[in-house]
Amino acid sequence: MKAIQWHDTHITILNQQALPHKTEYLELKHIEDVWDAIVTLKVRGAPAIGMTAAYGLALAAQSYETDDLATFHTELKRDRDYLASSRPTAVNLFWALDRLTKSVANATSVNEAKTTLIHEAICMQIEDEDVCRRIGEHALSLFQDGDRIMTICNAGAIATARYGTALAPFHLAKEKGITLHAYACETRPVLQGARLTAWELSEAGVDVTLITDNMAAQTMKAKHISAVIVGADRIAANGDTANKIGTFGLAILAKAFNIPFYVAAPLSTIDLQTKTGDDIPIEERAKEEVTHIGGVRIAPDVNVYNPAFDVTPHELITGIITEKGIIFGDYETKLPTLFEEVLA
* Catalytic annotation, residues: 233
Angle at 323 between CA 185 and CA 241, to 5 degrees: 45
What's the rounded Cα separation, in Å, for the pair 131 and 160? 10
Residue 267 burial class via C-beta count within 10 angstroms: exposed 0-12, middle 13-18, buried 19 and up: middle
What's the rounded Cα separation, in Å, for the pair 94 and 302? 34
To the question of whether residue 87 is assigned a binding role by annotation, the answer is yes
What's the rounded Cα separation, in Å, for the pair 174 and 164? 14
Angle at 116 between CA 114 and CA 117, to 5 degrees: 70
50: how many CB neighbours lie within 10 A of its CB? 29
Would you give the DSSP letter of residue 335?
G
**Is 50 within 8 Å of 124 (Cβ atoms)?**
yes
What's the rounded Cα separation, in Å, for the pair 221 and 223? 6
CB proximity list for 294: less than 8 A, separation 6 or greater = none
To the question of whether residue 44 is assigned a binding role by annotation, the answer is yes
To the question of whether residue 192 is assigned a binding role by annotation, the answer is yes
What's the rounded Cα separation, in Å, for the pair 194 and 178? 24
To the question of whether residue 243 is assigned a binding role by annotation, the answer is yes
Backbone angles phi, psi at 53, to 5 degrees: -65, -40
Rounded (10°) angle between helices 31-39 and 46-61: 170
DSSP output for 74-96: HHHHHHHHHHHTS-SS-HHHHHH
To the question of whether residue 45 is assigned a binding role by annotation, the answer is yes
Q: Which residues are annotated as a binding site?
A: 44-46, 87, 192, 243-244
List residues forming the annotated binding site for substrate.
Answer: 44-46, 87, 192, 243-244
